Amino acid sequence: MELELRHLRVIREIADAGSLTRAATALGLSQPTLSAQLKRIERTLGGTLFERGRFGVRATPLGELVLARTRVVLPAVAELQQEAALFARTRSGLRHLRLGGTHGPLLGGLLARLSDAASGVPVSTTTTWSERELAARVSDGRIDFALVGVCGSAHPPAAPQVSWREIAVDAVHVMLPATHPLAGRAEIDLAELADEDWGAVPGDGCFADCFSAACTRAGFTPRSLYETDTSSVVHLVQVGRALGLARATFPPAPGIVTRPLASTPLTWRHLLGWQGAAQPAPAVDLVLAQARAAHADALERADTGGA
């Protein structure tokens, strides 16, 4: 793992809060998730950053060194981002950003990041489960950028004059009730879930067919696949009526754990689309960079049970 700015922000927050519990609350994470993240950061830096005590945490000598650099680096990067965003707005002539997306954490994360990176530029959003509809809206100029997802190596929705760039590729995970017998596993073999019903958010791509094919390779035919909205899928999982299929960026939900499937039988590609002739390169670069950062944020917050 390479050290990133978000890791420095975590270190600073822990030091400022004085305890992992308070820092986790401020960061919107569970305490175990923050502890696991801190361990990964410490492995990257080669030593312990904080000593835990009865009354909280205290920085080690290595932690003090890292914190000293962090308190210089983060303000400098924030200033750089503001200056770069101002330059991008000046060069691109951004006056208003109209974003569209399928339901998921990326659109909200992108909106939040653009509020800082392109402050002063009004941003509006629209959502739909149909990737084709979003592509059509970009093509005819009703929105400027679209966040969509496609299954595996499938092609993005075809639409005149729309260009696509990949944001990230995720493994598809399974959502289980926290009381499920396999919920404690770090990963789960799809074949072990042959007797389950399933829930997933609908789309107009090939995901349902790809899931059926993955089940066939695992030696079974899925009993049922309920295609419904996200909140209904979550409810079906919470009450034990079905398991859910989710992106790796799916945020934690009460009573649910999300685990990767062994050997990654399904993947999901996050894409950004725009009308090639209508968007200047600085605007595309700005939105794409913030979309990738929003994905990294969502992945960090996701509950996958890993260390």
pLDDT of residue 252: 86
The residue type found at 218 is: A
pLDDT over 70 at 84, yes or no? no
Written as six digits, the tokens of 206 are: 């090939």
pLDDT over 60 at 96, yes or no? yes
Give pLDDT tens digits for 34-56.
888 899 999 999 999 999 887 78
Give pLDDT tens digits for 134-146.
999 999 899 999 9
Provide CB contacts within 8 A for 136, sequence distance 6+.
Answer: 157, 159
The residue type found at 88 is: A
What is the rounded end-to-end Cα distance, in angstroms, of the chain?
13
Written as six digits, the tokens of 11 are: 């270190």
pLDDT of residue 110: 93
Contact call for residues 164 and 288 (beta carbons, < 8 A): no
Q: Which residues pair with 127 in a beta bridge?
A: 101
Q: How far apart are CA 219 and CA 194, in angstroms?
A: 8
Give pLDDT tens digits for 187-230.
999 999 999 999 998 888 889 999 999 999 999 999 999 999 88
Q: How far apart are CA 146 and CA 137, in angstroms?
A: 8
Q: How far apart are CA 175 and CA 243, in angstroms?
A: 6
Contact call for residues 137 and 143 (beta carbons, < 8 A): yes
Please count the CA atoms within 13 angstroms of the CA of 143 that sit on its side-chain side. 23
pLDDT of residue 85: 57
Q: How far apart are CA 188 and CA 191, in angstroms?
A: 9
pLDDT of residue 257: 94
Residue spans of beta strands (DSSP E) within the chain = 50-53, 56-59, 97-101, 123-127, 145-151, 162-177, 198-200, 225-227, 243-247, 256-260, 267-275
Give pLDDT tens digits for 2-19.
888 889 999 999 999 999
